[in-house]
Amino acid sequence: MQTLFILGTNDWTTVLYQLYDVVDVDKGPIRDIGNFNGFFPLSFVFVGQLFFMNFFVGVLFLNFTKSSENEKKGYSKENLTWLDICGMIIKQTCPHELMNKPDRKRHPNRFKYWVIVNSNPFEYFIISVIVLNIASMAA
C-alpha cells in the first residue's frame, strides 16, 4: 500500500528504478536488468493520473451545473426566455466595414479611401508587402 501511495505522488521514479533492478526472491538486485516489473508502476501512474484528472473535471462540471441551476431558481419560464433573448441581442454585432462606412456626400475623399482599403487588390498588396518584408529580413 505504501508503494502505491508513493506511485501516486511525485516520487514514483525511485520505485520504478527499484522494480527494474529486482531479480527474484532472496536474490540481490542487479542494476538495470530490464525485466518487465516496470510496467505495473507505469500503468498505475498513467491510469491513476487519468482517473484523477477525470474525477477533477467531473467535480468541476457538477459544481458548475449546480451553480447554473441555482442561478435560475425563482425565475419563471417567461423570465428565462426573456433573458435568453436579451443575451442573443447583446451578442449581435454589426460588421466593422458597414459600421464605419463614411458618408459619400459629406466626406467624398474619405469614402474613396474607404473603398480602396476595403477592396481585395489592396489586401493582396498588403500581404505581398508583408511577405517581401519577411523575405528581406530573412536574407
**pLDDT tens profile 9-44:** 767 777 777 777 777 777 777 777 766 777 777 777
pLDDT digit string, tens, across residues 85-139: 999 988 888 777 777 888 889 999 999 999 999 899 999 999 999 999 999 998 7
- Report yes or no on 59 lying in a domain: yes
pLDDT the model gives residue 1: 67
Q: Are residues 61 and 12 in the same domain?
A: yes
- 39, three cell numbers: 510496467
For the entire predicted model, the pTM comes to 0.38
DSSP secondary structure of 7-27: HHSS-HHHHHHHHHH--STTS
Mean pLDDT value across the chain: 83
Q: Whole-angstrom Cα distance, residue 23 to residue 26?
A: 9
Residues 59 and 112 both lie in one domain: no
- DSSP assignment, residue 119? S
Q: Look up residue 68 and give its three cell numbers.
A: 447554473
Based on the domain organization, do 60 and 105 belong to the same domain?
A: no
Same domain? For 23 and 61 the reply is yes
Query: Do 9 and 49 contact (CB within 8 A), yes or no?
Result: no
